Chains A and B, each alone.
Chain A
Amino acid sequence: DARVTQTPRHKVTEMGQEVTMRCQPILGHNTVFWYRQTMMQGLELLAYFRNRAPLDDSGMPKDRFSAEMPDATLATLKIQPSEPRDSAVYFCASGLPQGNFYEQYFGPGTRLTVT
C-alpha cells in the first residue's frame, strides 16, 4: 500500500531556528504539493512542484520559506528563521494528473511548534 511519508512527525523548536521538513512522495507520482493547516486559516497551499520543477509558490512567505525537490523521491520545506506564527501542521501530498485534476494523496503531516 503506497503512502506519502513525512518526517519528522512532530517538531518543537525555538524562534529563530531553522526547520526542515521532508516528504517522500509515492513512487511514480510527478507532482508534489505542500500545505499548511491551522485552526484560523484552515488548509493553505504553499507550493507545488511538477516533475521536480516549482510551478507555484505564491502561497509561501518568500523571505523565510523555501521549498525544493532535489530528486524525485524527496521534497523539502525549509523555514529559516522560524517564528511562533509558523506553528501549524504541514502536509505534503503527491499525485498524478487525471484529466483536469490531480488525485492527491496526503502524508500524515508534520506538527510544528515554534516557541
Chain B
Amino acid sequence: GDSVTQMEGPVTLSEEAFLTINCTYTATGYPSLFWYVQYPGEGLQLLLKATKADDKGSNKGFEATYRKETTSFHLEKGSVQVSDSAVYFCALSGDSNYQLIWGAGTKLIIKP
C-alpha cells in the first residue's frame, strides 16, 4: 500500500541555517503530495502542496519539489527562524481514494 517516510527528528538548527527535511513516498499512480505544519498546541495547517511531477510547492519561504524519479518531496528553507519551530508532516493523497497517508512527523527546533 501507499506509504510516506520522513526523516526522524528532532532536527535542531540555529537561526538563519538552511533547512532540509527529507520525505520519500511509495504509491501507485500519480499521488498529490503535501507538507503540513503543526505549531505547539495547535492543529495541522497546510504549508504547501504539489499535484504532479516536477511541480514546486512554496509558501512562507518553504519549498518542496515533486520528484517522481526519486519518489521524494523534500522540504527546504533557506534561512530558518525561531518561529519555524514546529512539527512538519509529509503526506500523500493517492489515486485510490481521497484519504491522506501521513508520515510520522519531524520535530524542528530552531535555536536563537
**B3: shortest Cβ distance to chain A, in Å?**
13
Chain B residues whose CB sits within 8 angstroms of the CB of A56 once the complex forms: 97, 99
**Does B102 contact A100, Cβ atoms closer than 8 Å?**
no
**Does A43 contact B32, Cβ atoms closer than 8 Å?**
no
**A93: shortest Cβ distance to chain B, in Å?**
8
Report how far A31 CA is from B42 CA in the complex, Å. Answer: 21
A88 interface hit (Cβ, 8 Å): no
A99 interface hit (Cβ, 8 Å): yes
Chain B interface residue count: which class?
20 to 34
**Does B99 contact A48, Cβ atoms closer than 8 Å?**
yes
**Does A106 contact B44, Cβ atoms closer than 8 Å?**
yes
Report how far A106 CA is from B102 CA in the complex, Å. Answer: 14
Chain A residues whose CB sits within 8 angstroms of the CB of B98 once the complex forms: 31, 97, 100-102
**Does A43 contact B105, Cβ atoms closer than 8 Å?**
yes
Q: Which 10 A-B pairs have the closest CB atoms?
A: A106-B43, A101-B93, A101-B32, A106-B44, A43-B102, A108-B43, A102-B98, A42-B104, A107-B43, A109-B43
